[in-house]
Structure 1
Amino acid sequence: MRGRMDDVHVVLARSAPGFVGLQSVDDAGAAIGDAETVPVERLPAVVAEREQDRPRWIWSDSRTWYPALLDAGVRIERVHDLRAAGAILAGSTFAARARVDHPPSPDWAAALAAEASAPRGVPVAAAGTALFDFDEFDAPAPPAPDAETVVADPVAATVAEFARQQSLVAASDAPGRLRLLLAAESAGTLIGVELQHAGLPWRRDVHESVLERALGPKPSPGRKPAKMAVLAGEVRDALEAPALNLDSQTELLKALQRAGIAVASTSRWELADHAHPAVAPLLAYKKLARLLSANGWTWLDEWIVGGRFRAEYVPGGTATGRWATNGGGALQLPKQVRSAVVADSGWKLVVADAAQLEPRVLAAMARDEAMADAARGRDLYAGLVERGVVASRDEAKIAILGAMYGATSGDAGRLVPRLARAYPAAMALVDGAAREGERGGVVTTLLGRSSPLPPEGWRAVQARASEPGAVAAEERRARSAAREWGRFTRNFVVQGTAAEWALCWMAELRHRLAGIAPSPLGARRAGASGPAFELAPHLVFFLHDELIVHTPAALAPEVADAVAESAEVAGRRLFGTFPVDFPLDLAVVDSYAETD
């Protein structure tokens, strides 16, 4: 008989060499009965049998445990990932008071949590300079600690850590929100492994034809593609520099300046302001160089295996909770190569993109009904124009981005005050988050993910500016660094909550896809997707507010409905009955390029 959703919890941990321990526990982490030990080779069969009771599995890290189960064709429904949950609980302001009365996590769990929460996309602000990039998605993560090899009784240690985390949540200021966040984050860890396992369908022949049209035939090792070589020659002739290495930024900048082109960098934005005959071929060369470097033949050889692109996703891999990848650029696929993303024969791609997700999330977080109404049933930017807040859709987009990123100059500086007058609740929320960051404080998303503290360099800059005798330059550096960190926290609350919405969307969709009957025997199989997914619709791609499902063609209409319904459920889970829409751009296609 199937149990209710919260009846059964089963801990998985390494036991003796070659064996795995299983221990049933209650919702608080108290052991139920004796632990069971099974040989590693029997684990998939045991897990598949236990799945009939719909347990919540509890383990150290989905990346360690789940791949082998998927290799055996075993999917699991629910998990509590101690690594992911521990990282959130270690920093959440919702659990700050509870942490005072609870023991710290053990060394093995703390190491896992620290690895999970290593911040990426965090501005480094010191001495008046800043790196402000929320989208650094391909920085490699450090290897995960091998948790259960460093404790005497891994099963008991895993049970104890689960009990500690459950107690922290129960004693927190917002247990309901934290439970939802930990459940969604843990579901995300399963989805991340499944995306890599199933892979994104990829036609190598189509990709190669894209490269040949853009670059020319595949060159010999050490040579440039023909079209790049022609462009390079045009640049050298125009700059009168026959030996110029266009791939050396130092050499190129000197050659441009010698030719009278007054630029301080070789960025395309700066070059585009000049009419010199070297500029057009140089910009064309740089565009082709980016394609060759990011998605050229070497990338194909490394990343496309068996008709699939299998990127390693890192759920929660950035400070705000957005995902990262370890190599491959899965979250930065240029439009040029999307034509290579093609469904298997007899299958379709269901592609969905949540329109203007972050401003809609801002409206709902702030309970700004006027802003939510501007977006209801329509394009949000068009809604701002209709209400006379701004004159054009372009101005609306500039104003919204300026509000979320703290722009104070240019067109954004002119337009943001109009937004503040029209939507004071929304602006008050992000302005308050910015002020907290400028003070060096911490801000928290709707469900409980908190921002990191400013780095030591930032604090040192502030301290020097506060010392007696501080000079004006030090005070300016401190103000600049404070504003930069304030822009980070301003955006953190919105981007982080949008990431929570996306997690809930995917988790709900994953659940619904599992309930859709697979194609009957005899239907075309997606064999490259692995035994767990070869007949069933499954997620194959995720990018912030966009996802792709690979599905048997006959199931595509049902899958598309599930995608849309899951978005509605995610909105209700986070914002209750507040009247905000989360519309999707939804398409059923054979190729990803059809959605461009």
Structure 2
Amino acid sequence: MNETFVLTRIGDSVRVDIRGPRNGGATAPVTVASSDLPTFVAERELDAEGGAGPRWVWDDTTRWYPSLLESGVRVRRCLDLRLSHDILRRSPHVDPGLLVGASSAEWEAMDPVELAGPALFAWHEHDEPLDSLAEFDRQQAALAASTKRDPLGLLLAAESSGALVAAEIAHAGLPLREALHERMLTTLIGPRPLPGARPELLEQLLPVIRGALGAPDLNPDSPKSLLRALRAAGLDVTDTRAWNLRQLDHPAVGPILEYKKLLRLANANGWRWLDTWVRDGRYRPNFLPGGTVTGRWAAHGGGALSFPAQIRSSVVADDGWKFVVADVAQLEPRVLAALSTDLAMAEAASESDLYEGMVKRGAVATRKEAKLGMLGAMYGSTSGEGGRMVTRMTRLYPRAFGFVEEAARAGERAEVVETFLGRASPAPTGRWTLALGDLPADDAGRDRDRRKWGRFTRNYVVQGSGAEWTLCWIATLRNLLWQLDGAGELTDRPHLVFFLHDEVLIHTPAALAEETILAVRRAAAEATRVMFGTFPIDFPLDVAIVDSWAEGDSRAFLLDAEDEDPDLEADLASPR
């Protein structure tokens, strides 16, 4: 049974409209009391064991799925109308008129709700009931008429599966030993401070920083105060980002960077975080799929997108269980090779280390040169060593480097660019987008802003397409994990407990750890096939079976911290 069930809340009940699997024909709707919905869903999931299963269509996964999970019900497939509406209305391949309805403004304004709410279903008093069936029909019509129907259809399915994964991660929680975390905090920043006080090790750094800058009353927690003190000490700085401070030669820089690192740990994963976000040995991150303009996930509090290596030692598997940690080696350069169909770069990507593959084939002399050239291409370097390597590597990989260059030029022309599956970039705004005749002839900021937007679109097409590959990966993986053990609820089987850009963490019974690794690799291969067909590109994985997350090879997704461009990263991570 592969029927589609469209759910619309009506007071304390749910109207269920049923569509057939082939002809789209509708049957008479049924009404189900909200308290009976878990049983209704579970019976239909059970009836379809062994097949694709029913598809559940609802306004927003965060309003439906957590309560089903609390009742012990897992679904295989859904269509999240909120997420799908946002993708379709921004797409240049969709007629926006087909999405217009009486409640269009409400669909565009809908926000997700926090996943950890205690209510049976997330009916919110301020919410107006929205007709899911009418919106589903509009979206299906818009998709059917689209010039990019199949890729967009895959994107909607992957995005909706991502919403299921996020809810399941919040439901299961990441195992975390609170006593270990407390000992780690005591070692790194000092004992739990009194309310309103700084941790001990930050207090010890205060006189060092103040003395080095000659500022006895400095509060380094305040960026404005710190910036004034740096300038008063004769340093030419425009902000206090660690990225820029590292370029300075001054005795205050080292202590300031150490202070900022410890302060970030105290604020992001310190005592208050432990009290707020960790309960009963589980950290429950509140991920927001599709929460950024590129399609990467965002998070609603709790520091889910920044889980630094120094605190991963407190993430320990339950007795009799293991973690399987997996991340993708150089995801974005490999995605770029596939996007551009650059066979020379794809050949280098056949190595487990793409940069070493470039060296091995004589493209560059060292791994550092290969990395500088690739980062320069994706971030728009035009000067220095990175710029020189871009010029050289453009001759060697003309299709790949030409692809991002064209994306940059399109952005500079104020055009919308898109990911491989069709997620469109936001339209640019600002004075530079005006016609030349509407601006003063000496408007110096115009070209600067235009080039900045070109750097944004240059990276958008790669980062957004990489996010799509990972969505296909985890969507396939969640179902493969479910099939490894035919008994029990979600948390009795191997299940995802964390996802960060290109890295997954799976909590699995020890006896199924090796099978879990096979599922991780099979899911990656399937994601590559679904996304890029027969194009010869490899996405090798670093996979490990560990008791503690700290034991895994948890590398940053592509860029080392000192390589990141903070301004561009902030733009790419902006809310949708």
Provide the C-alpha distance between the structure 2 equivalents of 1:178 and 1:348, rounded to a whole number of angstroms.
Answer: 37
Which residue is equivalent to 1:121?
none
Which residue is equivalent to 1:495?
463
1:417 aligns with 2:391: yes
Q: Which amino acid is 2:460 matched to?
A: F
Secondary structure at the aligned position of 1:557 is classed as helix
Cα distance change, pair 538–227 in 1 and its aligned pair in 2 (3 A): same
1:101-500 aligned within 5 A: 102=98, 104-107=100-103, 109-115=104-110, 150=128, 157-259=131-233, 263-272=237-246, 276-455=250-429, 458=430, 460-463=431-434, 465-467=436-438, 470-472=440-442, 474=443, 476-500=444-468
Which residue is equivalent to 1:14?
9
Shift of 1:257: 4.5
Render the CA deviation track for 1:371-401: whole Å, top value 9, x for unaligned. 1001103311111112222221111111111
Shift of 1:547: 0.7
Secondary structure at the aligned position of 1:179 is classed as helix
Secondary structure at the aligned position of 1:94 is classed as coil
Q: Percent identity?
A: 50
Which residue is equivalent to 1:67?
66
Cα distance change, pair 47–221 in 1 and its aligned pair in 2 (3 A): same
Provide the C-alpha distance between the structure 1 equivalents of 2:244 and 2:466, rounded to a whole number of angstroms.
Answer: 33
Cα distance change, pair 75–408 in 1 and its aligned pair in 2 (3 A): same
Render the CA deviation track for 1:171-201: whole Å, top value 9, x for unaligned. 1112221211111111111111111111111
Shift of 1:233: 2.3
Which residue is equivalent to 2:564?
none
Shift of 1:259: 4.6
Bigger shift: residues 193-202 or 217-226: 217-226
Contact preservation (8 Å) 1:181, 1:447: yes
Provide the C-alpha distance between the structure 2 equivalents of 1:487 and 1:329, rounded to a whole number of angstroms.
Answer: 27
Provide the C-alpha distance between the structure 2 equivalents of 1:420 and 1:71, rounded to a whole number of angstroms.
Answer: 53
Shift of 1:31: 5.2
Provide the C-alpha distance between the structure 2 equivalents of 1:507 and 1:243, rounded to a whole number of angstroms.
Answer: 53
Secondary structure at the aligned position of 2:17 is classed as strand
The one of the two structures with greater contact order (alpha-carbon pairs below 8 A, sep at least 6) is: 1
Bigger shift: residues 36-45 or 66-75: 36-45
Which residue is equivalent to 2:32?
38
Shift of 1:263: 4.7
Bigger shift: residues 278-287 or 482-491: 278-287
Structure 2 gaps, min length 5: 113-121, 554-576
Q: Which amino acid is 1:462 matched to?
A: T
Which residue is equivalent to 2:118?
none
Q: Which amino acid is 2:493 matched to?
A: A
Which residue is equivalent to 1:546?
503
Q: Which amino acid is 1:419 matched to?
A: M
Contact preservation (8 Å) 1:30, 1:163: no
Provide the C-alpha distance between the structure 2 equivalents of 1:29 and 1:161, rounded to a whole number of angstroms.
Answer: 18
Q: Which amino acid is 2:254 matched to?
A: A
Secondary structure at the aligned position of 1:352 is classed as strand
Shift of 1:299: 1.1
Provide the C-alpha distance between the structure 2 equivalents of 1:174 and 1:287, rounded to a whole number of angstroms.
Answer: 45
Contact preservation (8 Å) 1:70, 1:532: no
Shift of 1:29: 8.7
Provide the C-alpha distance between the structure 1 equivalents of 2:92 and 2:164, rounded to a whole number of angstroms.
Answer: 26
Provide the C-alpha distance between the structure 2 equivalents of 1:358 and 1:169, rounded to a whole number of angstroms.
Answer: 28
Equivalent residue for 2:492, pick from 528, 532, 535 = 535
Provide the C-alpha distance between the structure 2 equivalents of 1:263 and 1:323, rounded to a whole number of angstroms.
Answer: 32
Provide the C-alpha distance between the structure 2 equivalents of 1:589 and 1:518, rounded to a whole number of angstroms.
Answer: 24
Which residue is equivalent to 1:86?
85
Bigger shift: residues 229-238 or 532-541: 229-238
Shift of 1:594: 0.6
Shift of 1:465: 3.6
Shift of 1:227: 1.9
Q: Which amino acid is 1:487 matched to?
A: R
Provide the C-alpha distance between the structure 2 equivalents of 1:217 and 1:348, rounded to a whole number of angstroms.
Answer: 30
Contact preservation (8 Å) 1:361, 1:498: yes
Shift of 1:595: 1.6
Provide the C-alpha distance between the structure 1 equivalents of 2:207 and 2:102, rounded to a whole number of angstroms.
Answer: 61
TM-score by length of 1: 0.85
Q: Which amino acid is 1:34 matched to?
A: A
Q: CA RMSD in A?
A: 2.3
Provide the C-alpha distance between the structure 1 equivalents of 2:138 and 2:164, rounded to a whole number of angstroms.
Answer: 22
Bigger shift: residues 370-379 or 272-281: 272-281
Contact preservation (8 Å) 2:74, 2:490: no
Provide the C-alpha distance between the structure 2 equivalents of 1:378 and 1:56, rounded to a whole number of angstroms.
Answer: 37
1:560 aligns with 2:517: yes
Shift of 1:270: 4.7
Secondary structure at the aligned position of 1:549 is classed as strand
Bigger shift: residues 490-499 or 22-31: 22-31
Render the CA deviation track for 1:65-119: whole Å, top value 9, x for unaligned. 1111000000001011111111111111222xx445x351442x543345569xx
Contact preservation (8 Å) 1:111, 1:145: no
Provide the C-alpha distance between the structure 1 equivalents of 2:126 and 2:241, rounded to a whole number of angstroms.
Answer: 48
Shift of 1:466: 2.9
Render the CA deviation track for 1:491-550: whole Å, top value 9, x for unaligned. 11111111111111001101111111157xxxxxxxxxxx83231111111111111111
Provide the C-alpha distance between the structure 2 equivalents of 1:166 and 1:352, rounded to a whole number of angstroms.
Answer: 35
Provide the C-alpha distance between the structure 2 equivalents of 1:317 and 1:242, rounded to a whole number of angstroms.
Answer: 42
Aligned residue pair count = 539
Cα distance change, pair 580–233 in 1 and its aligned pair in 2 (3 A): same
Cα distance change, pair 85–233 in 1 and its aligned pair in 2 (3 A): same
Bigger shift: residues 476-485 or 266-275: 266-275
Cα distance change, pair 147–222 in 1 and its aligned pair in 2 (3 A): closer
Cα distance change, pair 208–57 in 1 and its aligned pair in 2 (3 A): same
Which residue is equivalent to 1:577?
534
Q: Which amino acid is 1:461 matched to?
A: W
Cα distance change, pair 450–266 in 1 and its aligned pair in 2 (3 A): closer
Contact preservation (8 Å) 1:313, 1:325: yes
Provide the C-alpha distance between the structure 2 equivalents of 1:410 and 1:351, rounded to a whole number of angstroms.
Answer: 37
Provide the C-alpha distance between the structure 1 equivalents of 2:84 and 2:383, rounded to a whole number of angstroms.
Answer: 40
Cα distance change, pair 544–116 in 1 and its aligned pair in 2 (3 A): farther
Q: Which amino acid is 1:25 matched to?
A: R
